[in-house]
Amino acid sequence: MDTKSDNQKLNELNNTCSQKNRLDILREEIDKIDKELLPLFLKRMDLCSSVADYKRSVGKPVLDSEREKQVLKSKMDLLTDKSRENEVYEFFTAIMSISRDRQTRELSRDKGRKRIEDMLNPKPHIQNPRIVFYGVKGSYSEEAAIKYFGAESNRTNADSFEAAFLSLKNNKSDYAVLPIENSNTGTIVDVMDLLEKYGYFIIGEVDIPIRHCLMGVKGSKVSDIKYIYSHEQGIMQSSGFLKTLGNDIICREYYSTAKSAEKVANDNNPVQAAIAGKQNAEIYGLDILAEDINNSDKNTTRFIVVSVNSEIDVMCNKISAAFTLPHESGELHRVLACFAHGDLNLLKLESRPLDNKNFEYMFFVDYTGNLLDEKVRQITNNVIEGTGEFKLLGNYKIKE
C-alpha cells in the first residue's frame, strides 16, 4: 500500500471536518474497509473448510503449530513499518484462532455423527462375561458388579480407573464397573475423562447406597485414632463426622475405600483407621468403631457398566453425552432448546471448567431417548450442529 497517498487521504479527511463531524467521516471510512474485508474473510473461512476436509481425509490434527508460526512470520516480513508488528501479529493470531475453531467444530461434528453410526452397530450382550471392577474385594464397585451381573459372576479387580479401561482394551475383561457420580459430591471426572479418551460405551448403570463406617484393628478405640485412610470421595462424604473427632486427626487419601481397609488390616496399627463399607470389616478382620458416618443418609453412588462395543437395543431409554460450546452468548440456551422442542427430558446437566481455557466448560448431559428412533437421532444431530465438540458416551437402559 502507498503510504504517501494514505497520508494525503487522511489530510483531505481532516480538511473536510469543518463541514462534517470528523468522527462520522472516520467511521464511514472504517465501514468501507470492513465492507471490503468481509467477503475476503468469508472466502478465507470457506478455504478453511476445505483444509478441514483434507485433514479429515488424511487424518491430520487441526492444530499445526509449525504452520501457524510460518504464517505469522511471513506476515511480519511483509511489514515495512515495524512499529505495527504487535497489531498485525494479534490480528492474524485472532484470524487463525477463528479458523482453527471452525475446523475443530467441523471435524468434531463428523466424529459425533460417526459415533452415532458406531452406536447403531451393536454387539450382543456377552454371556458369562469377565468383569473388572475398581478397587479390591469388598469395594462398592464390587458390590455394584454383583448387583448388576450376579454373585456368581467372574470378577477381577483393577487398582486404578485406567487399569480397568486397559483391561478392556487388552481383551482381559468384557465389561468394567466404575463409579461415575455421587449424590453428594457429583461427577467423578477422572472416569468421564477416560470414557472420552478410550471411546468406549456405557451399556448399563446401577445405584449403590453408600453407608460408610469407621473401622480399625481389633481392640482399637476411636480415642486411639490419629490417622484415617480412605478414598478422597469417602473423606469428603464423611466430612461432618470427621470434624467431631477434632483437629488432631490426619486424613490421608488412599486408592479406594476397600483398599484403605486392607491397608489398616495389614499395618495392624491401633492409631490407624479406615473409612469404608461395612462389609470390609468382616473381609479384613477389623472392628467397626462408628457406623453410618456419611453426611447424608441418602448418599448414593451411580456406577456405570462400560464395554468396548455398543449394545443398544429397543429397551435402551437413556443417552449420556459430553459437549463443549462456542464461546458466545446464548449458545447453551440454543442447545437446550433442541431437547425441549423434541420433547426429550433432560435427566442431568453438569459442567466443569476446561483445562487451560478460561471461562470455557465441558457440559455433561443425560437425556431420555433411544438412538434407534429416527426422531431422537435427528434431535441429537441438531445438538451436534450447535456444539463445539460432541461426544456420545452411551445409550442404555435406565436403572430400575
Both 346 and 266 in one domain: the answer is no
DSSP secondary structure string, 226-270? -EEEE-HHHHHHTHHHHHTT-TT-EEEE-S-HHHHHHHHHHHT-T
Q: What is the CATH number of the domain that holds 286?
A: 3.40.190.10
| Active-site residue, 301 included | yes
Q: Which grid coordinates are listed for 282?
A: 468382616
| Active-site residue, 303 included | yes
Look at residues 259, 290, 321 and tell me which one is the last residue of a structural domain.
290
Q: What is the CATH number of the domain that holds 355?
A: 3.30.70.260
Residues 214, 315: Cα–Cα separation, whole Å: 41
Q: Is the dihedral of CA 103, 105, 107, 108 positive or negative?
A: positive
Number of C-beta neighbours around residue 247 at 10 A:
6
Q: Which grid coordinates are listed for 50?
A: 476445505
Both 283 and 373 in one domain: the answer is no
pLDDT score for 374 = 93
Q: Which of 133, 149, 257, 301 is catalytic?
A: 301
Q: Which grid coordinates are listed for 396?
A: 442404555
The reply to whether 160 falls in a domain is no
Only one residue has cell 456368581, namely: 152
pLDDT score for 358 = 63
Residues 235, 222: Cα–Cα separation, whole Å: 16
Look at residues 119, 134, 149 and tell me which one is the last residue of a structural domain.
119
Number of C-beta neighbours around residue 185 at 10 A:
16
Both 318 and 277 in one domain: the answer is no
Both 111 and 7 in one domain: the answer is yes
Look at residues 72, 102, 119 and tell me which one is the last residue of a structural domain.
119
Amino acid, res. 348: K
pTM, to two decimals: 0.71
240 contact partners, CB below 8 Å, separation of at least 6: 295
Both 326 and 266 in one domain: the answer is no
pLDDT score for 341 = 85
| Angle (CA) 66 389 308, round 5° | 105
pLDDT in tens, the chain (400 residues): 455 577 776 677 666 655 567 888 888 999 999 999 999 999 998 998 888 888 877 877 777 888 888 988 898 888 888 888 899 899 988 898 888 877 777 776 677 788 888 889 999 999 999 999 998 888 899 999 999 999 999 999 998 999 999 999 999 999 999 999 988 888 888 998 899 899 999 999 999 998 999 999 999 999 999 999 999 989 999 999 999 999 899 999 998 899 999 999 999 999 999 999 999 999 999 999 999 999 988 889 999 999 999 999 999 999 999 998 876 778 888 888 989 888 899 999 988 887 766 667 889 999 999 999 999 998 998 888 888 788 899 999 998 7
pLDDT score for 304 = 98
Both 285 and 327 in one domain: the answer is no
Both 273 and 335 in one domain: the answer is no
The reply to whether 305 falls in a domain is no
Both 337 and 241 in one domain: the answer is no
Domain range for 367: 312-400
Residues 198, 322: Cα–Cα separation, whole Å: 14
Of 195, 196, 201, 192, whose CA–CA distance to 123 is shortest? 201
Q: What is the CATH number of the domain that holds 55?
A: 1.20.59.10
Both 250 and 345 in one domain: the answer is no
pLDDT score for 14 = 67
Count CA atoms closer than 13 A to 236's CA, side-chain side.
11
pLDDT score for 128 = 95
The reply to whether 349 falls in a domain is yes
Phi, psi of 306 (to 5 degrees): -115, 140
The reply to whether 130 falls in a domain is no
Q: Which of 303, 323, 339, 363 is catalytic?
A: 303
